[in-house]
Amino acid sequence: MNELLLVTILVLFHCTLGQQDFLKSRNELSALFDLRSSLGIRSTDWPIKYNPCKQWRGIQCRNGRVTGINISGFKRTRVGRLNPSFSVESLANCTLLETFNASGFSLPGSIPDLFGYKLGFLMVLDLRSTSVTGPIPASLGNLTRLNALYLGSNDLAGSLPVALGQLMQLSVLDLSRNSFTGPVPSEFGLLRNLSSLDLSSNYFSGSIPSSFGSISRLKFLNLSDNSLMGSVPVELGNLSSLVELNLSMNALSGLLPAEFIRMRNLEVLVLRDNRLEGRLPDGLFSSLAKLRILELRENKFAGALPVALWSLQNLQVLDVSANNFTADLSNFSLKGHASGTVFINLSNNQLYGTPACLSENCNSIDLSGNYFQGKVPFSSPRNGSLGMNCLQTVPGQRSLEDCRLFYAERGLTFDYFWKSRVKTTTTAKSCPKGTQTMDIHFGGIAWWSWFHYDFGTGDRGGP
């Protein structure tokens, strides 16, 4: 950088602008110009002749010092695009920097140590989707004022430095969608100010540290899509502020701790694709009254589906498919759906009985792969997947012998003889009388059909 030009610019700023907006530190001015060329920032964003504090996009100053740099969404100059790298050495001179946001701006290379050594005032570091690589430098543990660290969607790897557990002010930590390995440090339990922790889509192994139960302000916890094993720590039940918990796509085993009934603010509980087993804790759904999304799919849960489930007022997604739940759902009806879309998947369990009507708002319901009997229970147009049950007048059902056996094993009666009757006398139905239209998608096979049901007589008319 031409020294004379700099001085000229400085003098120019002094003359034309007030003291307030003027970048006081020549080191910082020089640093910004270096950054401008090392990153290849375009003149449209950082015009060379103007005052960085006032006219450069994304630069924040206070008392003549640079406190914020936001190059998120910037495009590089043609030259800058040729050989992009994470060359920000000059930042070392912006010692009062509080926020650095480069999300979406390509910075291939590893995170420079200078962040941890020189930028002690940093509060927000956002490097999401910047193509950064390598491990997280342990020096970031020096940033005691750091409030938010976003490193998601990059190519970071290696194990996590224990030193991150020193970031006492941290409230958001996003390391999702990288290639981190090794255990989740139990020192993260020291991050008492943390409200959001996202470690999803990495290769973390080992078990969930029980110390996580001490992060009492935690609202969002996402450990999904890793290789976590062992049981879910009972201490997680202490997280009574938790709003969303996603532990899906791991290899977690054992029972769901009874302590989960303490998470009274939980709206999203996603445990799908694990090896969890046994009954759900008693009273779970009467406690978790705010649940909107419940996904237990692909586990080994067994026993009854607790009755309180059907009374959840806000439930929009219910997926308990591919477990070993068994229950007579003869009279069940979902009371939720207050706010729209309802998706229900009960498929591939051992559910039986004659289902009554479901919510009118239900957009999609999959009952396939169970032992439901009787007639199709829907009362309004919706997608239904009903294959492999014991239902009447629906194609693709189990053999009558299978059905008879299943019901006989439970000492129940299966209406085995309806086939030979001309007019069926249907079992308990609470659906309103009248002709109904239904859009059915049978058993996951692309087989669409329109039916008209008369629930009073059981007569059926095709399209």
Ligand X SMILES: *[C@@H]1O[C@H](CO)[C@@H](O)[C@H](O)[C@H]1NC(C)=O
Q: Which of residues 327-346 bind ligand X (CB under 6 A)?
A: 328, 330-331, 345
* From 17, 38, 117, 286, residue interacting with ligand X (rule: CB under 6 A): 117
| CA separation for the pair 99, 121 (Å, rounded) | 9
CB of 422 to ligand X, least distance (A): 26
Question: Which residue in 51, 202, 224, 299 binds ligand X (CB under 6 A)?
Answer: 224
370 binds ligand X (CB under 6 A): no
Out of 274, 359, 385, 426, which residue is the one contacting ligand X (CB under 6 A)?
385
Smallest distance from ligand X to CB 105, Å? 9
Q: Does 287 bind ligand X (CB under 6 A)?
A: no
Task: Kindly write down the DSSP assignment for every residue of 349-418, as one continuous string.
Answer: SEEEE------TTEEEEE--SSEEEES----SS-EEE--SSEETT-SSPPPHHHHHHHHHHTT----TTG
Q: Which is nearer to ligand X, 101 or 459 (CB)?
A: 101
Q: Is 260 in the site for ligand X (CB under 6 A)?
A: no
Distance CA 72, CA 314 (A): 37
What residue spans of 138-255 are helical by DSSP H?
none
Nearer to ligand X, 214 or 419 (CB): 214
CA 213/CA 236 separation, integer angstroms: 4
Q: Does 107 bind ligand X (CB under 6 A)?
A: no
Q: Contact with ligand X (CB under 6 A): which of 183, 278, 381, 458?
A: 381
CB closer to ligand X out of 16 and 339: 339
The least distance separating ligand X from the CB of residue 4, rounded to whole angstroms, comes to 15
Question: Does 193 help bind ligand X (rule: CB under 6 A)?
Answer: yes
Strand partners, 197: 173, 221
* Shortest distance in whole angstroms from residue 418 CB to ligand X: 19
Q: How far apart are the first and last CA of the chain?
A: 78
**Contact flags string 395-424 toward ligand X, x per CB under 6 A:** ------------------------------
| 111 forms part of the interface with ligand X (CB under 6 A) | no
Q: State both tokens at 365.
A: 């319901």
CB nearer to ligand X: give 276 or 419. Answer: 276
Q: What is the DSSP letter of 76?
A: B
Q: Which amino acid is at 328?
A: D
Stretch that binds ligand X, among 9-17, 296-304, 392-400, 404-412 (CB under 6 A): 296-304
Cα 77 to chain centroid, rounded:
35
326, 333, 361, 427: residue in contact with ligand X (rule CB under 6 A): 326
Q: Does 103 bind ligand X (CB under 6 A)?
A: yes
The reply on whether position 274 binds ligand X by CB under 6 A is no
CA distance 162 to 211: 14
**CB closer to ligand X out of 248 and 373:** 248
Burial call 137-159: b when 16+ CB within 10 Å, e when fewer: bebbbbbeebbbbbbbbbebeee
The residue from 21, 155, 402, 439 that contacts ligand X (CB under 6 A) is: 439
- Residue 410's alpha-carbon distances to 354, 389, 405, 415, in angstroms, are 15, 16, 9, 14
The packing angle between helices 3-16 and 26-39, to 10°, is 120
Residue 330: alpha-carbon gap to chain centroid: 33
Q: According to CB under 6 A, which one of 234, 255, 289, 304 is a site residue for ligand X?
A: 234
Beta strand pairing status for 59-62 and 65-70? Answer: antiparallel
Give Cα 294 to chain centroid, integer Å: 12
Q: For the chain, give me the number of helices (H) and strands (E)?
A: 7, 31
Residues 131-190 that bind ligand X (CB under 6 A): 138-139, 141-142, 147-148, 150, 163, 169, 171, 176-177
CB of 420 to ligand X, least distance (A): 25
Q: Among residues 149, 204, 244, 376, which is the contact residue for ligand X, using CB under 6 A?
A: 244
287 strand-pairing partners: none
Q: Is 379 in the site for ligand X (CB under 6 A)?
A: no
Is residue 387 involved in binding ligand X (CB under 6 A)?
A: no
Give, as ranges, the residues between 72 and 91 that touch ligand X (CB under 6 A): 72-73, 89-90
